[in-house]
Structure 1
Amino acid sequence: MKKAHFLFFFVSLLLFSCKNNNDQIPRKSSGKINTISVVIDDQLWNGDIGDTIRNKFASPVIGLPQEEPLFNINQYPTKLLEGFMTDTRAIIVVKKAAENKFEIIKNQYASPQNVIHISGKTASDIIACIEKNSAQIIQIIKDGEIGESQRINEQSLINPTVIANKFQIEIKIPTGYSYVLQKSNFMWLKKEIIGGNNSLLIYQVPLNTIKKEGDLVSCIVKMRDSIGNMYISGKEPDTNMLTEEAYAPYLFKSSHYGRETFETKGTWQLNNDFMSGPFINYSIIDPDYNRILVLEGFCYAPSKDKRDLMHELEAIIKTVVIKKR
């Protein structure tokens, strides 16, 4: 009898322990890349608050030839804040409440996840909160989506040895990309997709190629056009790649592991040809190796949306780490 009681106690303790351990393990987040779940009642969604959310989080992505939204938005009423919807990586909860509040909670329902809570006494208060914090929210969600793409890519990577030896860098490139062209200071990798392809360029140029006291955009355009003229062309003669003149590129200054970096987004075209598409160019000032390290992604997909294709390339580029000299 005592043995039976002991066995019952032991099994109960084991089940209780397992339950507590399982409760501490967050669910794995899921969902399509660049998608937000917005939890808001229909009455607010169909008014000025909903318009503000759409204007901020579904605004056109810069640097693409056609308009595509920054994020896809799925709207759910507040009563559905449960079940599968709480597994998504990015959730924005908006409601009227007795106090104005803005809060970001990491991994509230699943992991990795960002849940943004916005509440206000009036519609004007809620709109003001969205306006004030939208840039921060967008950056947090974008970083999360880049991280998710990198996690997916890391499941299967190409051998990095050739790139590491040539450029003294570490970079995580998923399988599917293959080498198209290799030169002493230049490398081109490409992935074929249905209806087009994604390309990644890695090259280095002298430090004085970009003159900081001059017109930075012109310097970067001149640099990438010279590379396009040397290495990238269509099937016909005189069809080299160049920066499309009709749309001025966007330039952003940032820092990558402490190194000054210029991020340029725009569109490319083939000279004397009809091929074109978007590009993203990261020019990293690297005095340790007396160079500018350039990583550029571009795609050709005339019949497809290009936002997520460029997102994949940006996620790859942002894994680069320059080895210490």
Structure 2
Amino acid sequence: MKKLGTLCFAMALLALGACKDTGPKERFLPPSTGGVNSLMVVMDTELWKGPVGDKIRDEFAAQVMGLPQREPIFTITQLPPQVFKGTTTYSRSVLFVEQDSTSLAHIKDDAYSKPQKVAVVTGPTEEILIQNLDSLAPRAIKAFKKVEIAEAQKRFGRSLSEDKALEEEFGIRLKVPSLYKVGKREKNFVWMDIQIPKGTMNIIAYEMPWDSFRNDSTFVEDIVRMRDSIGQKYVPGPYENTYMITEKAFAPYVFPAEIGGKKAVEVKGMWEIHGYPMAGPFLTYIINDEVNQRKMVLEGFTFAPSTEKRDYMFELEAILRTVDFDPKPVSK
């Protein structure tokens, strides 16, 4: 019965998808629920306690890069399949895993609620389950993160700042929550921040020449040099001759990205204050704005000592990813 139940669950997801794609009427789906960056894992508790559960924890609760302390990508709640019913099925991100004679590894949209991503993994043995998880995990993490970003944007989008500093200075628009305020605006630099318990969340924006970062062999060093020069000029510390720089002990992580419909790089790492014991995580996007022949730089950073920072940085990422470029060249 257990295997039959899994097969029925998987077939039901396929049928739901087919009905939604070809049926004359759209099914009513309740709104999905759950905290941002939460993941519902539906699987037998004994499997959860063994190697299959270990594989799930290794992939979906891996450490977030660029944070000072260990924090998982997703906060996981595990439920046995018989409990997954009613409102629990409305969870926004769901991973369903069960040992079964069939072998499946796929992702469905909006199976029980909307928006929702349900990753389904089945297999006849624990070894095959682990193989299927290994093959699906990168796609599933990407899909879950996408729906979580959209949820974060939906939440803060209810009350947005009407400040025009970014638009007037750079010809860009960001959907920034109204609680963020512009604290500094100079030629080629805008700084917005918000007070949080024990610290601040910050967004800064500036541009660099189009021909910056032409040498691949010194790319990371050039990024660090850029951040340090901007920090020294615009982001002072609490005392004279103190200012923000990139933490010297660790090189930042750099990944390709696409932001605002343009090619970019994503940089994650730690900042510190030169000459003073303050530090925290940062996220930088360096965006190729060919229309304006510039590199547009957007950065979010957090200062929140002795506090978990994953969700703060996730909100900053969600904000920065809303960037919209004016299609016309910016007049200078």
TM-score (norm 2): 0.89
Return the offset for 1:255. Answer: 2.7
Q: Distance in 2 between matches of 1:168 and 1:214?
A: 32
Unaligned runs of 5+ in 2: 1-24
Paired with 2:247 and 2:89, the residues of 1 have a C-alpha distance of 43
User: Is 1:87 the counterpart of 2:87 in the alignment?
Assistant: no
Distance 2:192 2:261 in 1: 27
Task: Give the letter aligned to residue 141 of structure 1.
Answer: F
Which deviates more from structure 2 when the two are superposed, residues 163-172 or residues 49-58?
163-172
1:249 partnered with 2:252:
yes
Q: Does 1:103 align with 2:106?
A: yes
Q: 1:260 aligns with which of 258, 263, 266?
A: 263
SS of residue paired to 1:158: coil
Structure 1 residue 102 displacement after superposition: 1.5
Provide the residue aligned with 1:116 in structure 2: 119
Moved more, 56-65 or 258-267: 258-267
**Aligned length in residues:** 304
Asked if 1:319 corresponds to 2:322, the answer is yes
8 Å CA contact 2:174, 2:323 repeated in 1: yes
2:273 maps to: 270
Please say if 1:193 is aligned against 2:196: yes
Larger Rg: 1
RMSD: 1.4
Task: Give how far 1:254 is off.
Answer: 2.2
**C-alpha displacement of 1:271:** 0.6
Q: Percent of pairs identical after alignment?
A: 36
> Where does residue 231 of structure 2 map in the other structure?
228
Contact 2:260–2:322 (CA under 8 A) maintained in structure 1: no
**CA deviation digits over 1:230-271, x for unaligned, max 9?**
010122111110000111100001233553211100000001
Deviation at 1:160, TM superposition (A): 4.4
When structure 1 is superposed on structure 2, of 207-216 and 174-183 the one drifting more is 207-216
- Deviation of 1:133 after TM superposition, in Å, equals 1.2
Give 1:24 deviation, angstroms. Answer: 2.8
Map of 1:143 onto structure 2: 146
- 2:173 maps to 1:170: yes
Once the two structures are superposed, what CA deviation does each residue of 1:45-86 show, in whole Å capped at 9, x if it has no partner? 111100000011001100111111111100000101102211
Tell me: CA distance 1:161–1:150, structure 2 relative to 1, closer, same or farther (3 Å).
same
Does the CA contact (< 8 Å) of 1:31 and 1:89 recur in 2?
A: yes
CA contact (8 A) 1:190 1:198 kept: yes
Code of the residue aligned with 1:57 in structure 2: it is F
* Matching residue of 2:46: 43
- Counterpart CA distance in 1 for 2:261 and 2:324 is 11
- 1:161 and 2:164 matched: yes
Which residue in 1 is equivalent to 2:308? 305
Q: For 1:64 and 1:194, how far apart are their aligned partners in 2? A: 18
1:61 paired to 2:29: no
CA contact (8 A) 1:211 1:219 kept: no
The equivalent of 2:155 in structure 1 is 152
Query: Displaced runs of 4+ in structure 1, greater than 4 A?
Result: none
Does structure 2 conserve the Cα–Cα contact (< 8 Å) formed by 1:160 and 1:171?
Answer: no
Q: Is the 8 A contact 1:160 1:172 kept in 2?
A: no
Relative to structure 1, is the Cα distance of residues 140 and 212 closer, same or farther in structure 2, using a 3 angstrom cutoff? Answer: farther
Correspondent of 2:76 among 37, 60, 73: 73
Shift, 1:287, TM fit: 2.0
In structure 2, what is the Cα distance between the partners aligned to 1:231 and 1:257? 25
Q: Distance in 2 between matches of 1:79 and 1:157?
A: 42
In 1, the alpha carbon distance for the partners of 2:112 and 2:234 equals 49
Question: C-alpha distance in 2, partners of 1:290/1:73?
Answer: 44
In the alignment, the residues of structure 1 paired with residue 142 and residue 184 of structure 2 have an alpha-carbon distance, to the nearest angstrom, of 35
C-alpha distance 148-212 of structure 1, shift in aligned 2 (>3 A): farther
Deviation digits for residues 153-188 of structure 1 (CA, Å, limit 9, x no counterpart): 110000143321211112100111001100111000
1: distance between equivalents of 2:260 and 2:325?
A: 9
Which residue in 2 is equivalent to 1:12? none
Query: Normalising by the residue count of structure 1, what TM-score does the alignment of the two structures yield?
Result: 0.91
Distance in 1 of aligned mates of 2:174 and 2:193: 15
1:118·1:126 contact (CA, 8 Å) conserved in 2? yes
